[in-house]
Amino acid sequence: MEPTTFSLYQFTQTKCHTPADKLWFVNQFVAFVNSGFKRKYFTNLFYKRLSNTFGHIAHYDQEGFWNTFFTTPENRLKFLKMVLDCKCIGDPKYTYSDVEKVLKGWLIDNYPHCLSMATTTSENKDVAMYSTFNQYEALCSKYLYEMAMLLQQFFLDYSYTCDEKEGRLMVAKMAALVERATSLQDWLVKFVLPNNYTKDKSC
C-alpha cells in the first residue's frame, strides 16, 4: 500500500469548519487505521467529529463509542463496513460529505491493508506495523536507486549526444522519482514511524 497525500483543495469550507479542519480529520482517520486502531489516536476531538460522520448518530459518549467499534476485530470490521456503506450525502458546504467520500475511497483503495489492521490481534500489531515500515523503507530505497541510475545515464548519454529533448525528459523522470521518494519519507515520519517506535502499552 502506497501512502496517499491529501490536499486542502479536496475539501469545501463550511460555516464552522475550514478545509484545514477537514484535512486534519482525514489525516487523523488514516493515522488511526494505520496504527491498528490504537487508543492514543482516538482523541476526544477526533471522537467528536467521527461520531458525526458515516451515519453515526446514536453515540454520545467517547468510551461507549470506543467499546462499540474498536475493542475487538469483529467490532472494527463493523466500523469499516459502516464507512463502506455510507452514502456520503449532503452539501459539503454544510456537511462533511466530501470528507466521507475521500475516506471511503481511501478505504476501498487500501482495503486489504485496512482489513489487516482491523483483524490483527494486539500482540501481533507491532509485528504487522514493523512489516509495513520495512515495505515503505524498501520503496524509498527503490525510488532513490532508480533516480541514481537515471542520473548516471543522464550524464553518460547527455555528455555524448547533447540532445536537449532527451536531457529534459531525463530531468523530468528524476524529478518525479525524487517527489515520490520524498512523499514516502514524509509519510513514514508522520504516520508509520510513531506507530513502530512509540511503545505505549496502555493503548
Spell out the domain ranges in the chain.
8-119, 122-197
Tell me, what's the pLDDT at 134? 56
Grid look-up 484535512 returns 23
Tell me, what's the pLDDT at 97? 96
The pLDDT of 119-138, averaged and rounded, is 56
Tell me, what's the pLDDT at 89? 92
Which string of b and e fits 57-89 if b means at least 16 CB within 10 Å?
eebeebeebbeebbeeeebbeebbeebeebebe
Separation between Cα atoms, residue 168 and residue 163, nearest integer Å: 9
Question: Which of residues 76 and 143 earns the better pLDDT score?
Answer: 76
Tell me, what's the pLDDT at 94? 95
- Give percent of the chain above pLDDT 90: 44
Tell me, what's the pLDDT at 57? 72
**Contact call for residues 100 and 86 (beta carbons, < 8 A):** yes
Report the predicted TM-score, pTM, of the whole model to 2 decimal places. Answer: 0.60
Lowest mean pLDDT across 8-12, 104-108, 117-121: 117-121
The pLDDT of 110-123, averaged and rounded, is 81
Tell me, what's the pLDDT at 61? 85
Tell me, what's the pLDDT at 155? 61
- Take residue 85 and report the three cell numbers written for it: 456503506
pLDDT in tens, 129-188: 544 555 555 656 666 666 666 666 666 655 555 566 666 676 676 666 666 666 655 555
